[in-house]
Chains A and B, each alone.
Chain A
Amino acid sequence: MDNNVKSYRKPYVRPVKANWWTDRSFYIKYMLREGTSVFGLIVALEFLLFIVAILLNPIQGAYFITNFFANPIVILVNVIALISVMYHTYTWFNLMPLVVRMFKSKEPTDTKLIPAKLMVIALWFAWVIACVVIGLVLAFIR
């Protein structure tokens, strides 16, 4: 098409505000979900710290860890982290079924997918089992 065509267009592009995510509760929840991953990071760093401490010196390391956890600020941070990570888990468990699209059977006429709810329940079930196993292992170590 000719480039010398006159156009009367003057499209208006709306500016993107920095606080766009406060417009809808859905976006706020999304930002919260993403924000909770920061606490996931903190927990991971804690673990890393412990491992390094134990590897450097098992006795002093264990002493350090015990002291570290006695600190009220650390306790507070870990309580918040627990809640955050639980929320993160909750949101991810709700989203997980979307990535799995499975039919109830292999019959060519079966058009019913395994319902998302069932998968969410299965995930929480697996979570509970994992918690119990870890708890038992820890109890055994002591």
Chain B
Amino acid sequence: MRFALSEDQVLLQDSLTKALAELAPLDRVRRFADEGERSAPDIWAGLIELGLPGLLIPEEHGGLGLGLVEAALAAQALGRAVAPTPFLGSAVLAPLALMAAGSREQQARWLPRLAAGAVTAGVAIHEPVAGARDGAGVAAEGGRLNGRTLFAIGAAGADLLIVADRAGGLHLAQQAEAVEPMSTIDATRRVTEIIFRDTPAEPLASNRALERLRDAAWTMIAADTLGACEAMLEKAVAYARERRQFGRVIGSFQAVKHLCAEMAAEIEPTRALVWYAAYAFDHAPDEASLMAAHAKAHTSEIGRFVARTATEVHGGIGITDLLGLHYWFKRIGLNRQLLGGPERVRAIAAQLQGLAA
């Protein structure tokens, strides 16, 4: 037994972090955000070279056949770099949906192309997971989808959509009546509202695949927040070691260094929780849902604390657009609400252990 990353996992983490520093430096993220780009194919192309789209896809379909721990490390690196990529939908949720509930034919048609990065996939599972707002929800009947779904992930420009209907059934669609951008605080990723009108779609198997997708999504979002928190703490510490006031670097004042210590004290154990949630998804199925829920809700809480505290350590410069710290702040802010805010997710965590009706 070893609760630590393997050599290969450390290597993956390092190579992704290095690649993202080249592919998605802050200037590139800023251009994506400011110019309202729908996608950043240059960044994704670099990650395709590293095999990222096929991370979870079995080798027989051209992927790397790795597990959710590796996917969580990738999500952590992406959150750390606030990188705009279709990773969550294309490399995690769509492949998992196809692997869990797709027919052989559907798998053979889509998995190799997803693994090669030749197509991208969007995922729309918001209503049955996080609740229906503004009357949204998708109805499925006779191979047709009708209705609208909010907060779809990676759907703009996607070749393939995985859609959950109101009852939790999953469908595979290659088109939609409309895919409309939803403007959120987080300009480093695009979420959309999708409208279906008698849109043809193939049903996926009616097993509990949606629960698995939800658990994976919660764990990935948790890892993304964790990575963003690490980056914010590092920036705060670097700034506190350099900025001088009253003739001293501010990091020598306990009022400032204790803020940094509190962030580290919150982040360190959370890292272990997120790693365990990812591990449980593949190796401890009985615990997977509970751990995913706790990882999602807990990173939301420490994320809010770190985002605000790291900003505060920077003083006035922390809130400027020039510094760009706000990209991390807002990414953490979207992650907190995406697919369920912490109160909702904790209520589910209680239900999962029979502590709530």
Pairing of A with B? no
Residues of B in contact with A (beta carbons under 8 Å apart): none
